Chains A and B, each alone.
Chain A
Amino acid sequence: MPVFHPIDVDEAVELLARRGPRRILAGGTDEMVRINHGAAVGEGEEIVCLNNITELRSWAFESDRGVLVIGAAVPWTELASGAIATLCPSLAEAARTVGSPQIRNAGTLGGNVATASPAGDGLCAAVALDAVAVIRSAAGSRRVPVAELVTGPKQTGLGPEELITSFEIPLTEGYQGYAKVGVRNAMVISIAGACLVVDEQHGISRLALGSVGPTILRCPEAEPLITDVILNRSGNTARLDEIVDSVRSAARPIDDHRATADYRRHAVGVLARRLVTRAISAREENNT
Chain B
Amino acid sequence: MSDVIAATRERAVLGTSPTRPDAPAKVSGQFDFASDLTADGAVWGATLRSPHPHARIRSLDISPALAIDGVRTVLTADDVPGTNSFGLISSDQPVFAVDIVRFVGEPVAAVAADDPETCRRALEAIIVDYEILPALIDPEAALDPATPAIHPLGNVVRHQRIICGDPDINGEVTVEGDYEIGMQDQAFLGLEAALAIPDADGTGIELQIATQWLHEDRQQIARCLGLPEESVRLTLAGVGGAFGGREDISLQVHACLLALRVGRPIRMHYSRSESFLGHVHRHPARIWMRHHADRNGHLVKVEARYVFDGGAYASTSSAVLINAVTHTQGPYRCENAVVDGYAVRTNHLPCGAMRGFGVVQACFAHESQMDRLAAACGLDVLEIRRRNAMESGDRLITGQTVTSVAPVRRCIDETEALPLPDKAVGHGDHPYSLPGGAGLTTDTTDVVRGIGYAVSIKNLMYSEGFDDYSTARCTIENGVVSIKFATAEVGQGFVTLAGQIARSVLGVDEVVLEPIDTGVGSAGSTSASRQTWMSGGAVKEACELARDSVIASVALARGVEPGQLELLGTEIVDPIDGWRIAMTDAIQGVSVNEEAVYRHRPTVALNELGQGACHTAFAFAAHRAVVDVDVELGLVKVVQIATAQDVGRALNPISVIGQIEGGIAQGLGLAVMEEIVQVDGVIRNASFTDYLLPTIADMPPVEIALIEEPDPEAPLGAKGVGEPPTISSTPAIVAAIRDAIAQRHPEATPLSRVPVRPSDVVDAFRGLRPTDHDR
Contacts and interface: CB of A to CB of B under 8 A. Distances in A.
Interface of A: 33, 36-38, 40, 93, 96-97, 177-191, 193, 255-260, 262-263, 266-267, 270-271, 274, 278
A212 B673 CA distance: 21
B63 interface: no
B758 A183 contact: yes
A185 B634 contact: no
A274 B446 contact: yes
Contacts of B10: none
Contacts of A185: 432, 435-439, 637, 695, 697-698
A97 B758 CA distance: 18
Interface string B695-716: 1011000000000000000000
B775 A260 contact: yes
B774 A97 contact: no
Contacts of B773: 260
A257 B677 contact: yes
A95 B632 CA distance: 25
Contacts of B689: 33, 189
B635 interface: yes
Interface string B264-286: 00000001110000000000000
Contacts of A96: 438
A183 B441 contact: no
A184 B440 contact: no
Interface of B: 120, 124, 271-273, 432, 435-443, 446, 632-635, 637, 672-673, 677, 679, 684-685, 687, 689-690, 692, 694-695, 697-698, 757-759, 762, 773-775
A181 B436 contact: yes
Q: Which of B439, B633, B773, B774 has the most CB of A within 10 A?
A: B439
Contacts, number: 109
B124 to A, nearest CB: 8
A281 to B, nearest CB: 9
Contacts of B124: 40
A278 B632 CA distance: 16
A256 B677 CA distance: 10
A177 B694 contact: no
A170 to B, nearest CB: 23
A3 to B, nearest CB: 15
A181 B677 CA distance: 19
Nearest to A185: B437
Contact of A97 (B438, B685, B695): B438
B684 A257 contact: yes
A183 B759 contact: no
Contacts of B758: 181, 183, 191, 259, 263, 267
B757 A183 contact: yes
B511 to A, nearest CB: 39
B441 A189 contact: no
10 contacts: A37-B273, A38-B120, A97-B438, A180-B441, A185-B695, A186-B695, A188-B692, A260-B759, A267-B633, A270-B632
A267 B763 CA distance: 12
A257 B775 contact: yes
A97 B762 contact: no
Contact of A266 (B273, B757, B762): B762
Contacts of B271: 36
Contacts of B442: 274
Given A96-B438, A187-B697, A256-B684, 10 more contacts: A178-B440, A179-B436, A179-B439, A182-B436, A185-B695, A257-B685, A259-B759, A270-B633, A274-B442, A274-B446
